[in-house]
């Protein structure tokens, strides 16, 4: 029903061909690491603190609002990062379609992180 993956090129396409009814979620931990790799070191902590708010919302609508506010704030400084996030936006918040009790365990591919959450 749900596949969780890092940003491996072609993974979603292959999964959707094999399991067309399945949902696909990008690993938010990997997304955050990719963002940090593309921003100035002095901005990384602030950006991560704001990005983390996206997956800590009560529902998907609130998360979308936070995500779009994130885009608006950082687009001028990091247009390439925001453009990349917009490209994968449909796969960033899929975990909100699942019960709140299990969301923390399905936003990351890292089993230890998921287990600890």
Over residues 70-88, mean pLDDT: 97
Spatial CB neighbours of 85, under 8 Å, sequence gap ≥ 6: 31, 35, 67, 71, 92
Can you tell me the distance from the alpha carbon of 55 to that of 88, in angstroms, rounded to the nearest whole number? 15
Cα 101 to Cα 87: distance, rounded to the nearest angstrom: 28
pLDDT at 38: 97
SS3 label, residue 72: helix
* 91-108: pLDDT as tens digits: 999 999 999 888 877 766
What percent of the chain is predicted at pLDDT more than 90?
64
Phi/psi region, residue 2 (left: phi>0; alpha: psi -120 to 50; beta: rest), is: beta
Domain ranges of the chain: 2-116
Through-space distance between the first and last CA atoms of the chain, rounded to whole angstroms = 21
Highest-pLDDT range among 26-30, 61-65, 90-94, 100-104:
61-65
> Residue 38 contacts by C-beta under 8 Å, 6 or more apart in sequence?
78, 80, 81
What does the pLDDT read at residue 65?
98
pTM value?
0.84
pLDDT at 112: 53
Q: Which residue has the tokens 């704030």?
A: 73
Average pLDDT over all residues of the chain: 89
d(CA 48, CA 35): 8
């Amino acid at each position: 029903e749900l596949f969780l993956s890092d940003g491996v090129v072609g993974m979603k396409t292959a999964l959707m061909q094999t399991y067309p009814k399945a949902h696909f979620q990008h690993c938010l931990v990997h997304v955050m690491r990719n963002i940090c790799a593309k921003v100035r070191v002095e901005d990384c902590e602030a950006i991560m603190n704001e990005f983390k708010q996206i997956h800590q919302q009560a529902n998907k609508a609130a998360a979308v609002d936070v995500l779009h506010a994130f885009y608006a704030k950082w687009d001028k400084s990091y247009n390439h990062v925001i453009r990349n996030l917009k490209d994968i936006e449909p796969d960033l918040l899929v975990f909100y379609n699942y019960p709140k009790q299990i969301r923390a365990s399905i936003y990351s591919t890292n089993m230890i992180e998921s287990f600890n959450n």
